[in-house]
Amino acid sequence: MDRLLRATVNTWNGLKSAIRTEAAFRQEIAVLLVAIPLAFVIGQSPWTRLALVGSVVFVMVVELLNTAVEKLADRVSREFDFQIGTVKDIGSAAVGLALLLAGAVWLLAIAQRLGLL
């Protein structure tokens, strides 16, 4: 039980830190707050609603991982390093792919709702 409590505190601290320091994460929280009720309007089944909200949460998870990589890389060295730059670019690409996936999920659900599928 103690381990679960510590993990919960660590999670909360990580979320607070991301909210304080990362504009992109704050924007994604705003999108999530809009996406949750909108998913109930667009989604025609519980699974569709879960996919809609889950895709936004997935973007947030990837953003958190990218932020962690970037902060660690900055801690290792503030000087320009090609390999660290590549690592940061790869993290950014992961966020970009997550955004594309979320966009595809939302477009597919909207098309289905409008009877286009």
pLDDT at 72: 95
Closest CA to 67 of 104, 14, 116: 14
85: tokens are 């730059």
What's the whole-model pTM score?
0.92
Q: What is the pLDDT of residue 16?
A: 97
- Residue 63 bears catalytic tag: yes
Residue tagged active-site, from 22, 28, 63, 70 = 63
Across 1-40, b (16+ Cβ under 10 Å) vs e yields eeeeeeeeeeeeeeeeebeeebeebeebeeeeeebeebbe
Q: What pLDDT tens digit does each residue of the chain (117 aa) get?
A: 899 999 999 999 999 999 999 999 999 999 999 999 999 999 999 999 999 999 999 999 999 999 999 999 999 988 888 999 999 999 999 999 999 999 999 999 999 999 998
Q: Which fold has domain 23-113?
A: Helix Hairpins (1.10.287)
**Res 66: pLDDT:** 97
Q: What is the pLDDT of residue 9?
A: 96
At 106, the amino acid letter reads W
Q: In the chain, what are the domain boundaries?
A: 23-113
Q: What SS3 state is found at 27?
A: helix
Burial label for 66, CB within 10 Å (0-12, 13-18, 19+), is: buried
Virtual CA dihedral for 28, 30, 36, 40, nearest 10 degrees? -110
